[in-house]
Structure 1
Amino acid sequence: MATQIILASASPRRKALLAQIGVEFRQQVAEIDETPLDNESAYDYVARLALEKARAVHRAVRGDDAPVLGADTAVVVEERPLGKPRDQDHAREMLGQLSGRSHRVLSAVALVGERAAVRVSESSVWFRSLRGDEIDAYWYSGEPQDKAGAYAIQGLGAVFVERLEGSYSGVMGLPLYETAQLLQDFGIQVLGQRK
């Protein structure tokens, strides 16, 4: 089967999730400025970044008819996206903020071709109380170093999650329900055709 879309992400999690629903794709990454705008809501922030990533790759592959899928995920506490940790102290601060409380995870997906569209998934995640030694051990595992909010629900970070309401795949970084809806709106087959 020919490439159906281009995934504007280097994320192995997004790659695995997209493959899971049977979509043929190739990856191409575009670097964009991910600085939040003044007074930008977390919702608008993830939607804008997903769309900017898709548009940047779409511009870079002029002449390719395959639409481009961009995605962005933010862990949000008190309406503030946490981003990825700069270092161990920053990760410790982030995980301390998540400890013993709930937070939101917003995951946006955008598709750009002849037209553009964006969908956003919102989930709520409750963390149990975390001890300092657990946070440090988690940092040394290497897992939180490139993750929004300094944790990965699909990895070791799962032991911190007491409860989840919403999209598990969205918390991982690509909300499959919204992604499938978006692809189908553009006439792209999901669940793959096996011949």
Structure 2
Amino acid sequence: MVLASGSPRRRELLAGAGWEFEVRPADIDETPRRAEAPIDYVRRLSIEKAAAVAQPGETVIAADTTVEVDGTILEKPVDDDDARRMLELLSGRSHHAHTGVTVVFGDDSQTIVVSTSVTFVDLTDDMIEWYLATGEADDKAGAYGIQGAAAGFVERIDGSVTNVIGLPLAETVAMLRSTTART
């Protein structure tokens, strides 16, 4: 089995669920297309990542996560100013984390998108600056990681926590089990 992702969070989640796999990150252009909806965006990227690394006879898992607020995709921040802008946008309101997951086995593939609603408390400037100083915002969609210090920003979550981390584990494991059941 191959995980088409360099994300340490995805590795930890999948390994923690007892799966053995090789890590082979996909190198694709992750730029959103003009007027591309967030759900379509993560679906497309998960399919493209899987296709980029798939070899005959392998099971491949690929995923992509984005944060969306008011229909706008919040990618990974380019710098602290961008991260600050994102956190200010998320402050005191709800947003969605969307993850597209594709599992490929031979000529067969399955793709799903899982969405989770997350509501943040009102963030003060001091809270945002403290969080930026942790460095956690640097490589995360929406400029936060729910599995780290930003967990203290979350007032409410509706849906899969592992989805917000980057891999909806229950749904991914179900896809893997249905794939391996066919062999």
Normalised TM-score (structure 2): 0.95
Which residue of structure 2 aligns with residue 180 of structure 1?
173
Match among 32, 52, 67 for residue 36 of structure 1:
32
Q: Deviations over 1:100-135 (max 9, x none)?
A: 000011011101222121011110000000011211
Which residue of structure 1 aligns with residue 78 of structure 2?
86
Q: 2: distance between equivalents of 1:18 and 1:131?
A: 35
Where in structure 2 are the equivalents of 1:120-135 lying within 5 Å?
120-135=113-128
Q: 2: distance between equivalents of 1:31 and 1:187?
A: 26
Match among 88, 92, 96 for residue 88 of structure 2:
96
Which residue of structure 2 aligns with residue 111 of structure 1?
103
Where in structure 2 are the equivalents of 1:4-153 lying within 5 Å?
5-58=1-54, 62-63=55-56, 65-114=57-106, 115-153=108-146
- The one-letter amino acid of 2:24's match is Q
Q: 1: distance between equivalents of 2:7 and 2:25?
A: 9
Q: Deviations over 1:51-92 (max 9, x none)?
A: 11111011xxx34x2211100101000111100000010000
State the secondary structure of the residue aligned to 1:186. Answer: helix
Retained in 2: the 8 A contact 1:9–1:71?
A: yes
State the secondary structure of the residue aligned to 2:180. Answer: coil
Retained in 2: the 8 A contact 1:42–1:81?
A: yes
Displacement of 1:175: 0.1
Q: 1: distance between equivalents of 2:151 and 2:89?
A: 17
Displacement of 1:38: 2.0
Q: Deviations over 1:15-73 (max 9, x none)?
A: 01001211110101121111111222111100111111111011xxx34x221110010
Displacement of 1:188: 5.9
Q: Which runs of 5+ in 1 are unaligned?
A: 190-195
Normalised TM-score (structure 1): 0.90
